[in-house]
Amino acid sequence: MQISTTARHCEIDAQVREFAQQRLAKLERFARDIQEAHLVVTAEKFRHTAEITLRLKHHEMVSREESDTSRVAIDMAAHRLEQQLRRLKDKRTEHNRNGHEPHAGLNGPSESPDHEPDLLSGTED
Residue ranges per structural domain of the chain: 2-94
pLDDT of residue 39: 95
Q: What are phi and psi of 10, to 5 degrees?
A: -160, 175
* Full-model pTM: 0.72
Give the Cα separation of 23 and 13 in Å (integer). Answer: 16
Q: What is the mean pLDDT of residues 42-56?
A: 94
**Cross-strand bridge partners of residue 52:** 39, 63
Which ranges of the chain would DSSP assign to H, the alpha helix?
Answer: 14-25, 70-100, 104-107
CATH class for the region spanning 2-94 = alpha beta
pLDDT higher than 90, residue 49: yes
Cα 90 to its chain centre, rounded Å, is 10
Give the pLDDT confidence of 60-116 residue by residue, as tens digits.
999 999 999 999 999 999 999 999 999 988 888 887 777 665 445 555 555 555 555
User: Of the ranges 1-5, 16-20, 49-53, 104-108, which one carries the lowest mean pLDDT score?
Assistant: 104-108
Which burial class, exposed, middle or buried, applies to 29 when counting CB atoms under 10 A from its CB (0-12, 13-18, 19+)? Answer: exposed
